[in-house]
Structure formats: structure tokens, C-alpha cells
Structure 1
Amino acid sequence: MKYIAIEEFCSHHGVEITLIREFAAFGLVPLHVENNREFLPDKAITRLERTLRLFRDLDVNKEGIEVILRMRKQLKKLRREHEKLLNRLQQLENPGIARNYIIQEIDLE
């Protein structure tokens, strides 16, 4: 797994390190500590950027951000399940034809 130093992220995004630590303490983003330095997993960068937008641009508090991110994750899961069910229904209706429906994703960013 790749990591980015928290200082680098904060400098690039113009945000205080203490805010990222608060998000991490609240469970919104993971932090990795090595040799007394804090790092963000690269896979968490998009989530953290989304969290920052909700916090700064829309003035959503940490509790609200947690709810929004959880609901977003559930919505993605439901979309995948819906797509699987549509594919299965198509197979049952037309057993000789293996078609796949493509569900257009709505970007929630």
C-alpha cells in the first residue's frame, strides 16, 4: 500500500493537520503512524477530499459527514445488487441470450 505524508496533503489542500487528525479520531479517515510521522493511505485520499468538501463547502459537521458517507456506500452496494438482479432477470426471461444491463452510475461527488 502507498502512503502520503499528512503534511504534504495538508499543504496541498490548505488545511490544518489538526483537522485531519480530528477526522481520523472520529473514524472518517484512516491514519498510519510510522516513526512518529503520520501518513494517509493513498486509497483514502478521495474519501478525505470528499470529507473536506462536505465540511468546508457545505458546512456539514463530522456526524453528518459520517451519515452521508455511510449512505453513499450503501447506495453503491444497492446499485450493484440491483444490476445483478436485472442481469439475472434477463437470463431467466431469455435463457438463450446472455445480456448484461449496464446501469449508468450517478457521480455523487
Structure 2
Amino acid sequence: MESQELIIVDVFCQEYQIEINFIHDLEEFGLIETVVVQEQKYLLKNQLAFIEKIIRMHNDLHINKEGIEVILDLLEKNKQLENQIKNLKERINLYE
């Protein structure tokens, strides 16, 4: 994994003015992944938008980590249902 694909957790937390414990809690909940390289924790750059979304839910909407977990699960299920509907519509169109 190349170093430009990783963001140091400490630097990220300073930039976004959040506590490091928040990132650790998100990781414990299984909402995000971190990578340890030479005893330094990093976030994956491709998760940045997702983590920003979580931070906005937490800071702007005052949703706790449990609530964020539920919301993200529901959003994922909604996405799966939308894909299923799309596939079913395509199958129906074949018979029209």
C-alpha cells in the first residue's frame, strides 16, 4: 500500500477538530478500518468521504455512535433494495 493512500489518524483528527477517541470508537464499532504501519495508525484515503459523513452525523445532527451504526445499516439496506428494484424492472422490460 502506498503512503499517499494513507492518512495519519492524529493529523486527520487535528484537521477535523475531533478527538482521537472518536476514531477509536468508530473502529471498535466496526464502522471504519485503520491500518497500523510502524506503530502509527492510518486511515485509508478511500474511506475519507465516508468518515466525513459519519463526523457530520455526529457533530451536526448530534447522533451517537449507536445511532450512526443503525443509520448506515439502513442506508446500505436501502441501496440494496434500490438495486433489486432496478434489476426487477430490467427483467420486466425484457417481457414487455
Kindly report which structure 2 residues correspond to 1:47-58, keeping only aligned pairs within 5 A, or say none: 47-58=50-61
Structure 1 gaps, min length 5: 94-109
Instruction: Point out 4+ residue stretches in structure 1 off by more than 6 angstroms.
Output: none
Paired with 2:63 and 2:19, the residues of 1 have a C-alpha distance of: 17
* Candidates 41, 64, 68, aligned match of 2:67: 64
- Distance across 1 between alignment mates of 2:45 and 2:80: 22
**AA matched with 1:27:** G
More helix by share: 2
Task: Name the residue aligned to 1:17.
Answer: 20
Within 2, Cα distance between the matches of 1:60 and 1:80?
27
Aligned partner of residue 59 in structure 1, secondary structure: coil
Equivalent residue, structure 2, for 1:26: 29
Q: Please list every run of 5 or more consecutive structure 2 residues that lacks an aligned counterpart in the other structure.
A: none
The letter for the 1-side match of 2:22 is L
Identity %: 32
Q: Distance in 2 between matches of 1:49 and 1:18?
A: 16
User: Pick from 72, 78, 81: which aligns with 1:78?
Assistant: 81
CA offset digits 1:35-88 (Å, max 9, x no partner): 110111122212211111111111111111000001101111111111111111
CA RMSD of aligned residues (A): 1.3
Flag the structure with more relative contact order, 1 or 2, with Cα contacts below 8 A and sequence separation at least 6. 2
Q: Which residue of the other structure, out of 49, 67, 78, is the alignment partner of 1:46?
A: 49
> 1:96 maps to which residue?
none
Length-normalised TM-score, structure 1? 0.78
Tell me the TM-score normalized by structure 2: 0.88
**Letter of the aligned partner of 2:46 in structure 1?**
K
